[in-house]
Amino acid sequence: MAGGLDRVLYALRLKKRPRLQRTRGEVLQSVPIRNSLVEWMKEDGGEVSLIIPADQKRHMRWLIRAMSLPNKRVVTLDDVGSFVWERCDGESTFEQIAQELSGRFQLTRREAEASLAEFFRVLGRRGMLGFAVPESRSTQSGADAKNRPGGGRKTSKGNRRKSKGRA
């Protein structure tokens, strides 16, 4: 009964969903993945421009047409943002990108990680990036995974790998 009520409250946005707390190790091993709906291009000066489509809900489509609003938004990233965006290829981890960032822009490791975390937080909230987070070893051991039905994939909502949204 309480689960159903929580779902209704979440849907009405009267209650916030509990956020998963990730360890530093899990965050460092997470892999940022670009949203496939966001197009991007590299300009001549090296800056990356993100082309973000407008919200396609029914009332927004009507409003866009009625007010002659553009159906996309363009965001141009600076040198650091462009450098990071190009490395969000679905293969590089947070840690690898932070190391490259600190080497390229003469930042300390701590500065690079803090800047990168904030950049990812903003892009994640806006739906431009998603994050694949490895399952922690405490929630799944190799032997348990092989014996679990479904080939070792966790199916409970809180433990499956995330590919979009917040990390």
Q: Mind listing the pLDDT tens digit for each residue in 79-116?
A: 999 999 999 999 999 999 999 999 999 999 999 999 99
pLDDT at 4: 79
Per the prediction, the chain carries an average pLDDT of: 77
Please state the pTM of the whole predicted model.
Answer: 0.64
Does 166 fall in a domain? no
- Here the CATH number for the domain that contains residue 33 is 3.90.930.60
pLDDT tier at 154, thresholds 50, 70, 90:
very low
**Rounded CA separation 130/162 (Å):** 8
pLDDT at 60: 65
What residues contact residue 76 under an 8 Å CB cut-off, 6+ apart?
43, 47, 48, 49, 50
Does 125 fall in a domain? yes
Does 148 fall in a domain? no
Q: Which among 101, 91, 71, 88 is positioned nearest to 128, based on CA atoms?
A: 88
Task: Tell me which residue range forms the domain holding 28.
Answer: 20-134
Does 9 fall in a domain? no
Does 151 fall in a domain? no
Is residue 133 predicted with pLDDT exceeding 50? yes
Does 164 fall in a domain? no
Contact 43, 49 (CB under 8 A): yes
What is the DSSP secondary-structure string of the chain?
-HHHHHHHHHHTTSSPPPPPPPPHHHHHH-EEEE-TT-EEEE-TTS-EEEEEEPP-SHHHHHHHHHTT--SEEEEE--HHHHHHHHH-BSSS-HHHHHHHHHHHTT--HHHHHHHHHHHHHHHHHTTSEEEE-PPPTTT--HHHHHHSTTTT---STTTSPP-SS--
Average pLDDT over every residue of 129-142: 67
**Rounded CA separation 109/101 (Å):** 9
- Neighbour-count burial of 16, counting CB atoms closer than 10 A to its CB (0-12 exposed, 13-18 middle, 19+ buried): exposed
What are 45-64's pLDDT values in tens digits?
A: 889 999 888 666 666 666 66
| Domains of the chain: total | 1
